[in-house]
Structure formats: C-alpha cells, structure tokens
Structure 1
C-alpha cells in the first residue's frame, strides 16, 4: 500500500471521527417508530398507574417543647420561682423519645381503634375508607384475637346485615351488640350512604402489627438545634386518618405530661394535709385548755415585773419553739424517707438551709427523670440502674443532712432550755396562775405558727399544681398536604419519558452488541485500514435481471460513481485488470461484476468479464451463456475466440465463463497458460474483470492477484461477519492484493443515507427530514 493511500485513509478517518460518538444515530433514524411506540406505551402505563395507584399523603405538625437550655421556656415558671416552689426542667431529647414511645402510640391505636379498617371494592380496585365509611364497627373491649381477619359486609335489609368470614356468617342489627371471634362489637351506620356498585369489607389487623405500621410511619425530628421546636410527620393513604393519628398523639402526650408534673405536687399536698390535721387537733386542745383555765382561775392582769421576766422567758421559749418545729419537721421527714424510698421531699420547707434544699430538689428531679425514662425503657436498662444509684446516693445524703441538723437542733434546744431554766428561777416568784397561763400561751403560739406555715405551703403547692402546664405547646396543628407525596405525577411522567427513550436505546445497543455482522460504513472505518471505494445500495430484484444503468435511479448512479473512481485511479494505464472477491459466498460478487462491466461498457470501453470462480460458477447461469470457457482453454487446445461470448441483450461486454467445473481448480489456475490468456486479453480490451471465489474459503483469488491492477473486496451489509475485517486488515497490511479497496454492498438507503438531488424520488420519513434539518 502506497503512502498516498495511507494519507488519504488518515484524513478520511479524521473527518469522520467526530461522528463516531453518534454510532446509534443511524439506527435511531431507521427505527424511529420504536421510540414512538415506546413513548405511547410508557405514557399509557404511567397514566394508568397514576389513575389507579393508591396515593400516600404526608401529615405534618409542630410542637414547642419547654427546654430552658434551648430557649424553649413557655413563661410558666416565673410565678412558681417567686413563691419558692421549684419549677420543672425538661429536655427536648427526652421529650422526643417520649413522643416515639411505644406506650404513646399504643394509646393512639386503642383510642382510634386503628386495627379496624373499612374497604370499598369497586370495579377496578379496593379503596380504604375512614371518616367517609358508611359503617362503623366499635369493639366494646380490645379485640381478644390477634389473628387478622376480613369480614365481608352484606346488607340484608335497611336494619339488618351479615358479616361473612370464610365459612362463618354472623347476622345482626345495626346498633345492637354482636358477638364476633374478635370480641363483642357494635356495628352502626354513619351519615354516608353506601354506593350501590361497591362491596364493603372490614379488615381487623392485629394490635401489634398496627402499632408497628404506624410507629414506622411516624417521624419525630428536631430541625433546628438552636430552638426547641419538634416537627412531627406521618405518611398515610388517607389524609383525615393521618391527621387524627397525629392529633390524638399530641393530645395524649400533653395530657400525660401534665399528669407527670402533678405527681410531685400531689405528694407534697398529701404530706401537708396529714400534718395540718395533727396540728389543728393539737391547737384546738390548747385553746380549749386556755379557756377552761381562765374561767376556773379568773386570770385577768399580770405585774410589771412578771411581765418583764416573762418577756425574757418568752424570747428564749420562742427560739426553743422554732427549733422544736424544725426538729419535728426533720423527724417526720426522716421517718418518711426511711419508710418510702420513693418519697418526694418537699424541698421548699427548708429554704433556710440552702445546701439541704438543693439536695432535696436534685433528689426530686432524679426521681422524675426516672419515671419519664420508664415510659420508653424497661427497669433492667442501665440507665434506670444509674437513676436508682443516684436516688440512693441522694437519699443517703438527705438522711445524713437530716441527722446533722437534728444533732445541731438538739444542742441548740438544750442550750435554750438551760437559759430558760435560769429565767424560771426568777419567775418562781410569779404566781403559779400566771406561769400556767404563759405555758398555755406558748403552746398556742407554737401550734399556731406551725399551722400557718403548713397552710401557706399547701396553698403554694396548690397554686403550683393548678398552674402546671404541659411540657409542650402545639404550634402547627396536624395538617395533611393537599397533594400526595407518592406517587409524584411529575416524577412518574418524567421516568416514563426517560424509560420510553431508554428501552429502544437499550434494545438498539443490545442489538449492536449481539449482532456479529457488519452494520455499516462507520464500523468498517473504525475497524479496518483498507479504504472504502464505493457503496452499492440494496435493491430487491429477481436473480438474473440486469440493472438498467441508463436510468436515473440511486443504484445506477452508484455504479457510475464506481466507474468514475476506477477510471481516475489508474488513468495512465492502457488496460486495467480488476479482481473482485469477498470473504464468503452470497456477498454480491457476481452482481457487482456484471453491473460494473455493463457500466464500463456504456462508457465506450471494451470490457470482458472473466468468470474464474471455477468451483461454483454463477455468471454463466445468470446470463444464460454456453458452458464453455476457462476449463476448455486451460485443458485443451480450444481457441480463445471460440470461448468468448457476447453478453445477452444490450450489455455491450464480452464474457468468458468458467466452463464445466474442473476436479482441480487450484492447479488449473496455477498453469502458465493462464498468464498467456490474460496477456492476450490485455491487448484486446480496456478492462478485464475477474470474478473470483471467496478469499475466506479458498486460495484461488490469491493465485489470480498477480494479474490484477485493482482489487475490489466486496463486503455486504448485515451479511459479512465482523471477524472478516481482521482478515481484510491482514491482507491489506501484507499487500497480498494490489490496490485493495472495499466495496460496501447491500446498503439499505433508509438505514443511513438518502439519495436525491434530482436522481430518483426522495422518500424519507418525517423523522429523517427533521434530523436532517437539525444537522445530525
């Protein structure tokens, strides 16, 4: 192969390299109707899916949690702190876990009886009903059976009905109790009327399955770490049902939150009530004794000296009484802590001892955290054990503090009594009646102070209880999105459009991968170094019918272009021998040889067609010539002029057939006489065209290559195997055939190329014209 051929080949490939990335474009143009059909089918399926698919809606709501660390105070702790009552502390993380807790969702399932669902079956599908169901089934108790069951409802008349489950039938009247396998229930009618064409059924699921379903559908999240706002969402097929679930969940959460916060207040009030009863009884007895004493002894006035002494004694007595009060309170508190480990300590009673009050508040807070944690986790959990350990440690600290205070009070009381005894010596001179009166007064004052103290704390605790609010506040009530989140119309239609394009593209790509035949010119250019000399279109015609090269059709013009290329390739030679071969039979060598000879003859050239395919001759049969030719020339003394036959009709070229099939074709083609025959023909004709056997099967063509000036290798579209391109490359690189060129035969015009410009009628589809306008 010459350097000129290599340069031309390189330039041709570089001009077409930009088009290689669109290797499927010819297939897309040829099979454009696949995309139309795929688009119609995918769009129809997507519309049917959107029409009958069960939509799912998202119900959302938000809750503001009291969390002082995140600025979530709801403004209810100021008054309590002024009264000396400890305010409640909440953590948003704990509240989120409570909202996700099993007990809270189980309460929602039981309150709404979510395990009972109603369905209406129409002509196409069954739809779930909730608030628009014509019937309502209410169990008097939670269903005893956990097995799911479906009851088919049939109306026998306006007042009666029948529930059917497999082979069991249950008849009843609306509004009356009926006994079902799942328990006693009452079926009633609602304000909605049943449709005539629908059949109704009632599905009863297990409580555990229903809880898991809605627990998985519920989402509780904190969207902003700087705020104490909690977002809740749930997905359900029915918007009203989802709103009812979230609404009930929030109501139960707020109610339980208030109950938890009131437990400490209730415990404090109970403790104060018990002590108030005792103090009231004691104070009443003292006042009654004073009244009897004054009546019996007629005590009216005291001396000035006695008054002064009594004032001093009274001062020490008041201090002693105060210490006695504290000692009594500590004694009662110590007894309660020893009896009940879960006793709530009223820390507000000991404001004068800040360290003790702080321990008591921490003790109460840890107990409250333990109770909240038990809502979400069980007692064996390590966190509960940690709370138990903290409670016991704080309890021991409280007992130690109480003991220390009692010891200090005992010392103080003993000192006060010693001071009081010294005063009593001086008072001994005071009349016994006045002393007795003062004793009654001291006791009365002691009990009265204690009574007022306890009463004040009771009122403060009652205020704390009445002003307690929930740990959260609903900001956005549960509301369903008016548009379903699943399926998304835009997404489904978009996916259907992508699938409608992807399916044909995938099929075309798979077709190209699995097809082991040559599909077009681009594939040859990418995988073969030999240049393409011409393309011959496919045209269906009976065997033996010649091509009218005088016509203005596309195939005739292609042979004219092939003739012109041959004439310009070696224009200086007097005679050109053209060898035509291929990889296998059936690729169109004989068709190409006959029509090329005819085309050259129409140009005024003397042409002879030599049928050298001695194994399987076809040209003689196509042209209906005598079976005498090369065998007779090579094996006998036959005259050359005797075997040259003119082509029939107006083909204007001569033919030498192969003659009768010889037993040894290769040996005959190697005879020296063949060279003499070719030399004689060169002197008579302008073009000698050799029709040779396929090179991929036998070696005959290689023996004839020494006589040829131009070698045309026929490759047929969708017929020649891709693996044969490797053979062509090897032949081209080894220069086994002179001036090897490829003829692409059997090209279907609508597969890639269209022919117009006045030669033949252009018959292209709308899709082809559109692509042409877009410059594809």
Structure 2
C-alpha cells in the first residue's frame, strides 16, 4: 500500500514562499564543518605555495618602424586592401630558433645552478658562487643534476644529487651522469676531462667547507628549442607598431636577461641586413679597384719608360687644349661604358637569380643617378630582405611568401623595362661623344710622332687614374654609409621586473575560503535533497495534510516509562504538553478514546501510547492502555507484565474481562495486554465482542488509549478507527519516509478519516529542527525539545545525571547515515 505508485499531483498545494530564515538556521548549524574545511583549504594552499616553484612573467617592448621611401610607397600596391602595420613577419622572427641562438650566445644559459634545499627547486642563476665553463668544441654530453660539495676553500667533490621525499614535489629534471667524474675531488680552475665530459669550475665568491649546490649542463640545441618556444610576442594595440616581448620564467633575472638579449639580437639582425647592401657595394668596388690598379701601374710604367727613351719633358702647349678636350671626352666615354656595364650586369643578375635580390648593388652607390631606377631597386631590395627574414621561420609555400614573390615579379618587370630604356639612351649618348672624340683625334694627329705617342700613353694613364680615384671616392662613401647605418627599430622598454603569475596567492587563498565553504554546503544540500526522510517540522508540515498536535523529544534513558520514572525530564514535559492539547479534543466525551498508530513499525507508537497513558494517569484521569497490536505485542514487555493472558484470549473466550485488565504500579493506570499472537488478528478485532468490551470500559475509565498496528502495513487499524474519538498519527524524525505520508494524505483528502492529528516523535536535541516559536496550526501548541542551557538549568533533569558534553560532531556524523 505504501510502496505502491500513487498519484501525488492532487496533494500538491500552491507554491509557498521560500523561508530564508529556515535555511539559514538549518545550514548555519554546520559552521564547525565550514570552519574545518576552510582551515584545511588554507593549510593545503599554504603548503602548495611553499612547495611550488613560482613562475614570473617578464616583459619588454620594441618599436618596429616602417620607413619606406616615397617612390617605394607609390609603387607598392600590396597594402591597398590591408593595413600598413603588418607585424606577422617580425613576430615570427622573434620566435625563430635562429634569433634565439643569437641571443643565447650572449648569455650563460648552458649551465643551471640550484641551491641545496629540500623545500623546492631554487635556481641561483647570477647569484651562484661558482661558474662552470663548458668546452662545447668537445663532444660534451648533456648531464643530469650534479652535486658539488666544498671540501675546503680550494677543493670540492662532485657526486650524484641526494634524493629526498620533497623531490617528488619539486620534480627536478634529471638526466644521464658521467660516472667517471663522480665521487672525486677537484680544484677550482682545474680542467675536468673524460671521454664524454670536458669543463672546469671557477669560483666567483668564497664558499665554506661543507656548503653544497647543484648544477646541470644543458645541450645548446635543447636550450635553443626551449627558449624559442617560451617567447610570446604580440602587438600592444591594433593601431601601433610596438611589439610586447614576454616570457614566463622561474627566475626573474634569467627571464629579464633573455628578453633583453633577444631584443638586442633582433636589432643586430636588422642592422646586419641593412649593412648587407653596403658590404656588397664595397665588395664590388674592391674587385673593380683591383683590376684598375693593375692596369694603372702598367700604363704608368710604359709612360715612364717612353719618356726616358725619348728624353721628353713636356708636351707642346699649343696642343694643350686639344689634348684636354680629348681626355675629357674619353673620361665621359669611360663613365658611359661604366654605366652600360652596370646596366648589363644588373640585367644579367636579375635573370640569373631566383627570388633573392638582397645582394644587388644600388645604382646610387656606383654613381648612377637615375631616381626612378634607384626607387625600383630599393623596393626590390626591401622585398627581398623581407622574404629572407620570413623564410627563416616559415616555408616557401606560406601565403606571405607567395604574396612577396608576386610583388617581386612585378618590380622585376618594371626594372627590365627601365633598364632597356636606359641602355638605349646611354648608347645614343656614347655614339655622340665618340663622334666628337674622333674629330679631336684627327686634329691631334697633326702632332709629331713621338709627342703623339707620348700623348696617347699619357691620355690612357689619366683615364685609368681618374677611374681609380673615382672608385676610391665611392669606396669611401660606401664605408661612411655603412658606418652611419643604424637600425630602423628601437627598444621602447627593456625588461626589468617580473610579475608573479603562478601561483596566484591571493586568488588561491580566496578560492580556498570559497571552496571550503561551498563544497560542504553543496554536499549538505545534495544530501538533504536526496534524503527522503522527515528531518524537521518544516518538512513535516510541507509533506502532511493533517494538523500537527505536538512534538516529542528523543529519549536517551534506558527505560521506556519516561513519564512515570523520570517525571522531570524534558521528554516527560513534552508528553504533558501533548496531554494538555488532548484535553481540548472531544472534551464533550465522558470517556475519551485515543487511538495511536503510524505508517510503519519502529516509529514509536507504542512508546507514545505508553507514556501518554502515564501522563494522563498522573493528571488524575483513570486511564487504561489497550494493546491492539496483536501481531507484534510490546506493551507487556515495556510495562513488565506477562503476556500469556490478554485481549486475544478474551476475544476467543479464554479469559474474562477482569482477568485481562491488569493494574500497574502507577496510580490510575491500567493495562490490557495484547495476549498470545492469534492466527487471525484482523478477524478477532472485527467481532462484536470487541465493541462490547470497549463500551464496557466507558463506565470505569475516563481515558482509553489504544495502541494499534501501523496503518500502512495492516488493514485492521482502519477498522478500529470507528471506535476512537481522537486519532494520533506518529511520525518519527530521521526515520519516516516522505512517501509513507502519501496514504494518510490521500485518506484525509478523500474524507475517509476524521479527527486525525500528527505527533512528531524522536526530535533530537540540536538536530535539523526549526523552532516555530509559537503555536502550531490545529490544536494545542508546539513544545520543542531544547538542549539544557543557562535558562533551563536543572529543573527538567535529575541532579544525579552527569553533564553531557557537546555532541556536535556526533550529530554531524549522524547526517551521513543513510
């Protein structure tokens, strides 16, 4: 009947407002649990911080400038649909391994130094009193952690690092060790050499005997990979060209030095790429000067020999003007041929090269002053340098490389077209100058033969000398240009201080407090949500339709006769409150019949019946208690009488009425035992003799208390309701399931029962109760079971009872008993 499926939709009432005070009082009682969990959380966080290696973020910033010439900006159509501040190539370069290798060359990161501690890993870095200098030209192996122990001021021992329990927390990295160098004594600046190891230890600061520290030798390739991955680069904003370079490091100084070295290496790389043009120009001029210098020496020797052989001192001044004009024209032709040679060399260079034109010599550096060609070559060199820089970090199939290649192809077409025009114009100019030179040569041929030959040699000498001086001038200009070159980029802020990013101490302590409070609260909420038992009066009133008449506290005494044997206890007082409430029910009856039942066995109906009868008897009412639970009789056992003769014997005519009504040792209290268990208890209680027996008690007793079987388990209780004036339905705290109340609610809603009142039994001191502080709905008032305090004193307890300690822990643990 109870376990069957019942439609509970008709029992649902209107939604009631949430009683905030009820939940606050209910869950605030567990403040010791919250305090313990918060305390444990704080302890765990403290230990976590103590044994965790801190991580810091160090940041620097660098300004990336874009200083393209006006003609380059005019010709460059690649940024029509995109912003001009494309920093992807620079970001990729910062994270490249090549730049990381250049930065690490400036630092001593191939050896790490650690303090000898069992708490956590502490890297010394620049605070190390020693320095290990590794010979990387030797096939050096990467080593694990090596312990250095000072023997005296000048000697030390190398050994394997000592392991302890805390190393599991510190989690220090370890690797292979060269056993040949271990457990030996060495001196500072002594070369430690084996087939796999070669290094020496230098002392930087004094160390005491017995002092220890550890060091680890890293492979340079591993260090490059690690630090290239550790760098993070991002623009500071969307509109500028300032990049923020940052990394996470366990040592602020180490991360600071690497970020600064990386930014310096980027500037060096940028300056090196800019100087590449000047270096190529100087190389080209040096090659030309070597050739011109040889020819100049040869002509000078010929001229000297000719003058000695022909005893010539000077040339006739009459032909001086003609000779000067011839020399000027020849010099002009030489310059024109130099330009033509440059154009053809440039044309051949562009045809032979694929996509890399970073080695091309700019026209302005060799004296070619065409501004348009200079602009095209400058743009070609810039794009080529950008392509080389990009290929250091990406492959040729990358979209950015493809875009640059398309721009280079367009510039090459424009350069070829411009060179063809320049070659054509220059050849025309050369033809005109050559014609003038022929005219002056014909005039000069009138000179005597010796002087004419000398003049030809002298003219060739001046031509070579002028070309040599011109190359010297251009070489000096290229050298000055190289010396004056500076990087277009600049460092805005060097990395100085690091910010702690792990662990976030204040946040972790806040989380410890929050989780220490909310985890037990969530557990309690889940437990209470899944708990289907009636735990307090609020739950009871929300689950039952019949009025709540009173509450009975949980008895801790060894006897069941609480009212009779411990009349001053608080449980006895709760029965007196229940008795007072019953006085106002069916008050017109001369003899009041009170039926006591419950949902299932074990809810305390016999205990309630027994002590209620005792409370009524103590008030002067002549009371009889009838054990109508013929299936599991317990009253005789509680009172201490024999159960051989009882109600079942009377109903089967084996005993008389006077034999089954047994007086007790308490005044005005009588008992009718259940008697032997019959095979048909339900049928016996339906006999007319049962009705006659109850009617006969009206004249003799003022109150008849009937202890009946559970209403939800057997059927005879429903039959006995016709004999009662007041019906008490017993509900026990932390025992009665909410689903057990569905049947009584159904009966009450369908008017199948009357005069039914609930009694909340077994209310624990300090349990999950809510004190209403006033009257219940229905009859009577609610007497809550309170723990003894300075207000109650010893009035309700015997003086002989020992004082009970606080049981908050027991009450808390009892919540976890499902």
Would the TM-score normalized by the shorter structure come out above 0.5?
yes
1:707 Cα shift?
A: 1.7
Deviations 1:288-342 (A, max 9, x none): 8888679727434328xx96x8899888777656534433443554566667775
2:39: which partner in 1? 40
Matches within 5 A, 1:267-666: 267-279=280-292, 296=312, 298-302=314-318, 320=333, 323-334=336-347, 342=357, 343-348=359-364, 349=366, 352-378=369-395, 398=415, 401-418=418-435, 421=438, 450-451=467-468, 453-481=470-498, 484-513=500-529, 515-547=531-563, 553-627=569-643, 628-636=645-653, 638-650=655-667, 652-666=668-682
CA–CA separation in structure 2 for the residues paired with 1:312 and 1:190: 75
- 652-661 or 491-500: bigger deviation: 652-661
CA–CA separation in structure 2 for the residues paired with 1:431 and 1:91: 72
- Among residues 263, 267, 289, which one is paired with 2:276 in the alignment? 263
1:122: which partner in 2? 117
- What SS does the corresponding residue of 1:18 show, helix, strand or coil? coil
1:390 Cα shift?
A: 6.0
CA 1:326–1:137: 2 relative to 1, 3 Å: closer
Unaligned ranges ≥5, structure 2: 1-10, 71-83, 161-176, 772-784, 796-803, 810-818
CA 1:336–1:767: 2 relative to 1, 3 Å: same
CA–CA separation in structure 2 for the residues paired with 1:222 and 1:255: 21
CA–CA separation in structure 2 for the residues paired with 1:45 and 1:329: 77
The number of residue pairs the alignment matches comes to: 735
CA–CA separation in structure 2 for the residues paired with 1:27 and 1:734: 37
Note if contact 2:50-2:119 (Cα within 8 Å) is conserved in structure 1: no
1:589 Cα shift?
A: 0.9
1:393 Cα shift?
A: 6.7
1:190: which partner in 2? 204
Q: 1:176 and 2:190 equivalent?
A: yes
- 709-718 or 505-514: bigger deviation: 505-514
- What SS does the corresponding residue of 1:598 show, helix, strand or coil? helix
Deviations 1:53-76 (A, max 9, x none): 22222222222222348xxxxxxx
Matches within 5 A, 1:126-165: 126-141=121-136, 144=139, 149-164=144-159
CA–CA separation in structure 2 for the residues paired with 1:477 and 1:504: 48
- What SS does the corresponding residue of 1:478 show, helix, strand or coil? coil
1:691 Cα shift?
A: 0.4
Note if contact 2:143-2:217 (Cα within 8 Å) is conserved in structure 1: yes
Identify, as 1 or 2, the structure richer in helix.
1
2:800: which partner in 1? none
CA–CA separation in structure 1 for the residues paired with 2:40 and 2:89: 53
- What SS does the corresponding residue of 1:648 show, helix, strand or coil? coil
CA–CA separation in structure 2 for the residues paired with 1:91 and 1:459: 36
1:500 Cα shift?
A: 1.9
Note if contact 1:302-1:434 (Cα within 8 Å) is conserved in structure 2: no
1:236: which partner in 2? 249
CA–CA separation in structure 2 for the residues paired with 1:619 and 1:63: 94
CA–CA separation in structure 1 for the residues paired with 2:128 and 2:650: 102
TM-score for both structures, normalised by structure 1: 0.82
Note if contact 1:43-1:496 (Cα within 8 Å) is conserved in structure 2: yes
CA–CA separation in structure 2 for the residues paired with 1:382 and 1:205: 36
Matches within 5 A, 1:214-229: 214-229=227-242
TM-score for both structures, normalised by structure 2: 0.78
CA–CA separation in structure 2 for the residues paired with 1:710 and 1:212: 89
1:74: which partner in 2? none
CA 1:421–1:143: 2 relative to 1, 3 Å: closer
CA 1:572–1:452: 2 relative to 1, 3 Å: farther
Note if contact 1:714-1:744 (Cα within 8 Å) is conserved in structure 2: yes
1:49: which partner in 2? 48
CA–CA separation in structure 1 for the residues paired with 2:242 and 2:187: 49
> What is the root-mean-square deviation in Å for CA atoms of aligned residues?
4.2
1:126 Cα shift?
A: 4.5
Note if contact 2:625-2:704 (Cα within 8 Å) is conserved in structure 1: yes
- What SS does the corresponding residue of 1:149 show, helix, strand or coil? coil
CA 1:607–1:138: 2 relative to 1, 3 Å: same
CA 1:601–1:317: 2 relative to 1, 3 Å: same
- 507-516 or 309-318: bigger deviation: 309-318
1:60: which partner in 2? 59
Deviations 1:83-122 (A, max 9, x none): xxxxxx9964322221111122234455545353233333
CA 1:36–1:317: 2 relative to 1, 3 Å: closer
Note if contact 2:591-2:698 (Cα within 8 Å) is conserved in structure 1: yes
Unaligned ranges ≥5, structure 1: 1-8, 70-76, 79-88, 769-776
1:702: which partner in 2? 718
CA 1:439–1:548: 2 relative to 1, 3 Å: farther
1:127 Cα shift?
A: 3.1
2:91: which partner in 1? 96
- 683-692 or 107-116: bigger deviation: 107-116
- 279-288 or 561-570: bigger deviation: 279-288
CA–CA separation in structure 2 for the residues paired with 1:410 and 1:567: 137
Note if contact 2:95-2:229 (Cα within 8 Å) is conserved in structure 1: no
1:282 Cα shift?
A: 5.4
Note if contact 2:595-2:727 (Cα within 8 Å) is conserved in structure 1: yes
- What SS does the corresponding residue of 2:705 show, helix, strand or coil? strand
CA–CA separation in structure 1 for the residues paired with 2:219 and 2:301: 68
CA 1:725–1:199: 2 relative to 1, 3 Å: farther
Note if contact 1:320-1:416 (Cα within 8 Å) is conserved in structure 2: yes
CA–CA separation in structure 1 for the residues paired with 2:377 and 2:743: 98
CA 1:331–1:296: 2 relative to 1, 3 Å: farther
1:592 Cα shift?
A: 0.8
CA–CA separation in structure 2 for the residues paired with 1:68 and 1:682: 117
1:612 Cα shift?
A: 0.6
CA–CA separation in structure 1 for the residues paired with 2:790 and 2:568: 11
